[in-house]
Structure 1
Amino acid sequence: MALNKYMHPRNIYKTPPDFGKLSLIYPEFAAISKSDITGKVGIDFKDPHSLRVLTKCLLKSDFNLEVDIPADRLVPTLPLRLNYILWIEDLMEVTHRKENIVGLDIGTGACAIYPLLGAVKNKWKFVGTESDAESFTNAEENVQRNNLQELIKLTKNSTKFIISHLFTNDDKEQFDFCMCNPPFYSNLQELCESRSPARLPPKNGFTGSPQELITEGGELEFCRQLIRESKQYRDRIVIFTTMVGHKYNLSVLLQDLKSEGIRHTHAEFCQGRVTRWGLAWTYQQYDLYELVPPRGKPRKKHKPTIFLLPELPSCEGSFEVALSKIKGMLDILCIQHKILDKRGGNITLDIVASNNTWSNQRRKRRLQNRTETDAKVPKLHIEQDSTIPNPINNQVGGESKLEVSEPSKSLNIDDNITNGSEIRESKQDTSSVDSANKTEPLVHAFLKLVKKLDNILLELEFLDGCAGKEGLHQIAQYIKNNWK
């Protein structure tokens, strides 16, 4: 659990649970656990049933909660959910709210996990909303099973709004905070292609239903709609929060809030191999960034690289032409790209390069030209005539035999040396890239096109990748060299 040390300081799961103890207390857990030759007890984390049993036993052991988790619904991972709750505690502390705290859980799910944890841990009151009928029914049963009806109230959301359906002119209900774990994906294809093959495989098995994982427009559009609705109800909820599953979406949302002057902060939730992010904003007087600054691993800030794109003949200052040309170059280089934001004179793309396809362009062109030249040179075909005396005599059984070298084996010495070195270098490059791709991509960055007056600026911001900022600079140089 490589990221456990970066969990919230108060998270009880910084120290992994004692599976041996759980197997002695809960027969259901003993049935899915197994011991290795050293006697250490473990479970199959890739088995959804095992994950379901583990979560149920931990909820009972650590929070005295009896929870039913349907087989076809998402299994909530407790370290992550607890990280979110503890961060909300920090936000409540800086707003000096300690008693009678009321929270709103958007999309509470079949487990109603956040209201249950908040109620038993902090005695918070909750309103939980849910749009799926089966999940709503199961959540109600979980609340009743734990006798928490006085603290938790669930409501069905049959509208397309996220929070607007809760408020009427006569209703004066106020919330100290809202929290949400929105669906990450916009469609099934995006869900299937969401994990880069360069990343390590997930430790846990896959759980969740389509309605829990997919929403129109994906996570980014959902969060943007929540921000839009929050402006209308800025006086009804003190602090708005949401979880964010993709780092590039967090960056875009932070830009949205900053551009509109909305006070905000964010957090990093680390657990196991998984990282998620929390985003909070308010329209009150609290400076959240100063009061609850982003916590987590110290990260080096990367200043973006900006340069002016040369004018293109007959289409000066054409934004669409520039975007089309950039996308064409990225396709040629086999660099994955996805438009994150497109508004006015700004377009932001998320780019991921898994292989070095931009280096040694001159050498590649020389090889291509040499191949084309060789193809144009006519080959000399010699037909052997037995009547012609053989200048090279090999006496085998008294017969003379003509030895003719095969054209494919005839190489120019200089070419052989050059090609051999290039082939060796190419193999070395490929092997190093392949080994790097097993852990992370070469370059992951934001590419932005910004139009200012009649000029178009290209801005590149490095995020991560084993090739470092130098790899991004090489991509930028390729774009400059091939722009016209």
Structure 2
Amino acid sequence: MQEKKIHPKVKTELHPRSQHRERYNFKKLIKSSPKLAAYVAPNKYGDESIDFFNPDAVKALNKALLIHHYGLQYWDIPKHYLCPPIPGRADYIHNIADLLKGDGTVIPKGSDIKGLDIGVGANCIYPIIGQHEYGWSFIGSDTDEAAIISAKEIEQKNYKLRSTIEIRRQEIANNFFYGVLKPEEKVDFTICNPPFHASLDDAQKASLKKLKNLNGKRPSKALLNFGGQQNELWTKGGEARFVKDMIYESKHFGKQCFWFTSLISKEATLKPTYKVLEKVNATVVKTIEMGQGHKISRFIAWTFLTEQEQHDWIKERF
């Protein structure tokens, strides 16, 4: 056994309201989700942990976190679908809350505040966290039939989600808002975790790099410990093309949404994205950075509302 690591008591890089700032309490997590126990064992430092190379272990941990921290009765995803790290997803939600708060001191809460999750996925993570933490309601859209079925099952089997989450199928793969947002329907924000990579090869190379960073050895193949289908991991042109197309389409829904947002994985994507936002005359653009371990994450937010329209929106809806 190697010399025991000294861990900070609080993960200060995470959002102050995050439920994940302390190290995982496996005793409490196992009590909430007993099946996690099969995957917990001392690591080389003598700390209780799981094998993060094992997709089943990662899924069991996520399930325990969602049951323990977010009050779920049920959560599951089909095999090989994206199993995202919960703390990072929670930080996006908490920063959206700060964005909605603006210069005020009160975070808008309750089911009257509505978000659109573009690509809700089989896991339904963002609506789960947003509903529990702030009481928000959500529209979750996806093009994948299996993801839609899974997300609807999560919504139906958790009584708190039934009246606050609506899952809608996006029938046209290249659309973001058309076919999902109804005429005159308003949402206070959109949220999106784009496919980051431009090809399957890029996705596999990134996975190999990630796994090498985890254990210091080059793995023989790209084992995706978090899972993921093609449409979840890569798209033609990568995230830069994906976000650009989203921005152009969002212009047509500028009066139906206060804040459009999207995660940006690669810093190099920011500059061309700013140029597109300038071209479509976004009135306000913000980039919000989020720290997660050794990685800096970020999302970009934009609106087409004038200053007066923003004031009226806040007065009417918040």
The answer to whether the 8 Å contact 1:4/1:270 transfers is: no
1:43 to 21, 30, 50: 50
**Pairing 1:86–2:94 present:** yes
TM-superposed deviation, 1:198: 11
Q: 5+ unaligned residues in a row in structure 2: which ranges?
A: 1-6, 216-223, 309-318
Describe the superposition over 1:2-49 as per-residue Cα deviations: whole angstroms up to 9, x where unpaired: 994222122121212212332355321111101358863111111111
The answer to whether the 8 Å contact 1:127/1:155 transfers is: yes
Describe the superposition over 1:64-118 as per-residue Cα deviations: whole angstroms up to 9, x where unpaired: 1121122210112111110000011011111864441011110100011111111
**Pairing 1:119–2:126 present:** no
Tell me whether 191-200 or 242-251 shows the greater mean CA deviation. 191-200
Return the structure number with greater relative CO, CA threshold 8 A, min gap 6: 2
Describe the superposition over 1:327-356 as per-residue Cα deviations: whole angstroms up to 9, x where unpaired: xxxxxxxxxxxxxxxxxxxxxxxxxxxxxx
* Closer, same or farther: CA 196–207 of 1 in aligned 2, 3 Å: closer
* Closer, same or farther: CA 25–149 of 1 in aligned 2, 3 Å: closer
**Pairing 1:172–2:175 present:** no
Q: 5+ unaligned residues in a row in structure 1: which ranges?
A: 288-484
Q: Size of the alignment, in residue pairs?
A: 285
Identity %: 30
Match of 1:374 in 2: none
- Give me the whole-angstrom Cα distance separating, in 2, the residues matched to 1:151 and 1:279: 25
**Pairing 1:190–2:171 present:** no
Q: Which amino acid aligns with 2:116?
A: L
SS of residue paired to 2:225: coil
Q: Which amino acid aligns with 2:117?
A: D
Q: How does 1:74-473 map to 2 (within 5 A)?
A: 74-94=82-102, 97-99=108-110, 100-147=112-159, 148-159=161-172, 160-167=174-181, 171-194=183-206, 201-202=213-214, 205-258=225-278, 261-262=281-282, 263-285=284-306
SS of residue paired to 1:54: helix
The answer to whether the 8 Å contact 2:141/2:167 transfers is: yes
Describe the superposition over 1:176-207 as per-residue Cα deviations: whole angstroms up to 9, x where unpaired: 11111111112112222347969961479342
Q: Which amino acid aligns with 2:77?
A: I
The answer to whether the 8 Å contact 2:114/2:188 transfers is: yes
The answer to whether the 8 Å contact 2:33/2:67 transfers is: no
* Closer, same or farther: CA 286–77 of 1 in aligned 2, 3 Å: farther
The answer to whether the 8 Å contact 2:247/2:276 transfers is: no
Bigger radius of gyration = 1
SS of residue paired to 2:28: helix
TM-score (norm: length of structure 2): 0.81
Tell me whether 40-49 or 193-202 shows the greater mean CA deviation. 193-202
RMSD: 2.7
Tell me whether 226-235 or 181-190 shows the greater mean CA deviation. 181-190
* Closer, same or farther: CA 286–12 of 1 in aligned 2, 3 Å: farther
